[in-house]
């Protein structure tokens, strides 16, 4: 159920269809059969020790995906050009609109990012690689971007803080002080929900913190490159997301005690952290939502299969009107969500990530799709009965993922606020806004309360008074 691809550059249509077919083949041959093995190996690694590392099956599938050209498909054409890296590690030059279809296919795995990890298209690495491609210097790209593109290391992004409401990014306040004498920044404070930081493969962190306490509020934060082996970094604990630690990557709480990095590790310049985030977070948000569509398709397929097999009260579940309504509603929701994603992706291709209309669409996507998919998966769980809550289906994992996504990369409320704020501004120039309300003729009146009433009305009033 894929729509025709709109082209704003990107891969030629014939080659793109061949790429999708190759990815579907990889999913059928390698991903779906190994989903439970991946989950089991991941859990065993998490329980064995704190030395979290990639499951063996993931390393095997990474090699196969790279050999089949299913590698770094997320990287937009413009980012690849800016990075100036070896073309052998760059993806297929897809547009965002094309990648939407690829990302949805990868999202059909029971673990939303299993296939994405195998294809080196997982968060937060994708966003970090784009930041490095656009804002790092040549030496930083050689040291960090190239091994990330090759899949030899992983990264994390440290933004959210335990002591402030981080949904308002102006609250981000971890201290980044300059030590001019030593030519270093000194970092002190705490971060949490740093996805991927628990893995031994995570070698580099992009950290957002406060380099000044005065001046314009959106010019106080900066982003730094912080190698994970820098002295003073302590991983305190993995945060449990609905009871799961998500080993072997984790969402870590981290303490920074006099962590020192060179001044040249600042990205783009001091006070430009918001500028980087505006470009970085948009693609990451839509990638999550693209994969969510794959989760929704997987859940709906499971429900349709289940209700066609099970009987209750003398007939198949598929013959009950409530079930039929759930199926139809789910299909409507998937199709409308997909159109929203495609529209946002096309705006990214044509207008760029920072255009107001693009930003509004990205916020709409992030606010609408996770909550819609959460409700859809809940419906599918209900159709399965108690089995839907168990380890025998991927539905609970899909539900937990959708619920978590309503908070990751900004809560629903913030994205709705952003979408509404942009709408109010754009409406000022709308053709319809200028029309306004109908004019009211104040010279015409209904009647005065002192006017005499008609004989008929008077008879009715008299009759009513005698009740």
pLDDT of 408: 93
H/E stretch holding 253 = strand 251-262
pLDDT of 178-198, one tens digit each?
999 999 999 999 999 999 999
Interval 368-391 mean pLDDT: 97
pLDDT of 74-130, one tens digit each?
987 666 666 666 666 677 789 999 999 999 999 999 776 899 999 999 999 999 999
pLDDT of 35-61, one tens digit each?
999 999 999 999 999 999 999 999 999
- What is the distance between the alpha carbons of residues 235 and 150, in angstroms, rounded to a whole number? 26
- What is the distance between the alpha carbons of residues 135 and 194, in angstroms, rounded to a whole number? 21
pLDDT of 112: 63
> Peptide bond before 248: cis, by omega within 30 degrees of 0?
yes
In the chain the domains, ranked by start, together with CATH numbers, are: 13-152 (1.10.540.10), 156-271 (2.40.110.10), 274-427 (1.20.140.10)
pLDDT band at 6 (very low <50, low <70, confident <90, very high): very low
- What is the distance between the alpha carbons of residues 183 and 425, in angstroms, rounded to a whole number? 44
Residues near 144 by Cβ (< 8 Å), separated by ≥ 6?
A: 132, 136, 153, 155, 203, 204, 225
pLDDT of 385: 97
Maximum CA pair distance of the chain?
A: 100
pLDDT of 284-312, one tens digit each?
889 999 999 999 999 999 999 999 999 99
pLDDT band at 430 (very low <50, low <70, confident <90, very high): very high
pLDDT at 72 over 50: yes
CA distances from 406 to 358, 368, 409 (A): 20, 9, 8
Nearest to 205 by CA among 217, 195, 216, 190: 195
Interval 382-406 mean pLDDT: 96
pLDDT band at 4 (very low <50, low <70, confident <90, very high): very low
pLDDT at 417 over 70: yes
Nearest to 148 by CA among 116, 177, 126, 181: 126
pLDDT of 329-349, one tens digit each?
999 999 999 999 999 999 999
pLDDT of 8: 57
pLDDT at 33 over 80: yes
pLDDT band at 9 (very low <50, low <70, confident <90, very high): confident
């Amino acid at each position: 159920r894929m729509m025709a691809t709109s082209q704003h550059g990107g891969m030629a249509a014939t080659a793109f269809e061949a790429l999708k077919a190759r990815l579907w083949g990889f999913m059928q041959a390698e991903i779906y059969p190994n989903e439970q093995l991946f989950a089991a190996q991941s859990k065993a690694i998490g329980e064995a020790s704190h030395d979290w590392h990639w499951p063996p099956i993931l390393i095997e599938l990474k090699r196969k995906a790279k050999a089949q050209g299913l590698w770094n498909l997320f990287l937009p054409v413009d980012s690849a050009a800016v990075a100036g890296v070896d073309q052998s590690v760059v993806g297929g030059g897809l547009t965002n609109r094309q990648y939407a279809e690829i990302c949805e296919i990868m999202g059909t795995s029971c673990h939303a990012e299993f296939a994405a990890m195998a294809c080196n298209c997982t968060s937060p690495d994708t966003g970090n690689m784009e930041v490095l491609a656009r804002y790092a210097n040549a030496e930083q790209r050689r040291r960090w971007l190239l091994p990330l593109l090759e899949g030899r290391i992983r990264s994390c992004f440290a933004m959210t803080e335990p002591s402030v409401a981080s949904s308002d990014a102006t609250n981000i306040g971890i201290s980044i002080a300059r030590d001019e004498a030593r030519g270093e920044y000194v970092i002190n404070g705490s971060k949490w929900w740093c996805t991927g930081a628990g893995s031994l493969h995570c070698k580099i962190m992009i950290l957002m913190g406060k380099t000044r306490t005065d001046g314009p509020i959106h010019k106080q934060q900066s982003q730094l490159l912080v190698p994970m082996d820098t002295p003073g970094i302590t991983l305190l604990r993995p945060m449990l997301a609905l009871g799961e630690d998500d080993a072997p990557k984790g969402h870590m709480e981290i303490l920074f005690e006099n962590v020192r990095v060179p001044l040249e590790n600042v990205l783009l310049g001091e006070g430009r952290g918001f500028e980087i985030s505006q470009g970085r977070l948009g693609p990451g948000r839509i990638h999550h939502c693209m994969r969510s569509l794959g989760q929704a398709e997987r859940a709906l397929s499971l429900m349709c299969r289940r209700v066609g097999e099970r009987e209750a009260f003398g007939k198949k579940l598929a013959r009950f009107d409530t079930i039929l309504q759930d199926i139809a509603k789910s299909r409507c929701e998937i199709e409308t969500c997909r159109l929203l994603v495609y529209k946002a992706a096309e705006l990214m291709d044509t207008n760029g990530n920072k255009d107001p209309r693009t930003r509004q669409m990205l916020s709409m996507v992030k606010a609408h799709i996770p909550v819609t998919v959460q409700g859809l998966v809940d419906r599918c769980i209900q159709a399965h009965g108690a089995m839907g809550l168990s380890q025998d289906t991927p539905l609970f994992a899909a539900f937990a993922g959708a619920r978590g996504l309503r908070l990751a990369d900004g809560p629903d409320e913030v994205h709705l606020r952003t979408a509404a704020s942009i709408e109010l501004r754009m409406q000022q120039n709308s053709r319809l806004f200028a029309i306004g309300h109908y004019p009211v003729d104040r010279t015409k009146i209904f009647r005065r309360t002192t006017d005499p009433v008609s004989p008929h009305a008077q008879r009715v009033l008299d009759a009513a008074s005698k009740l």
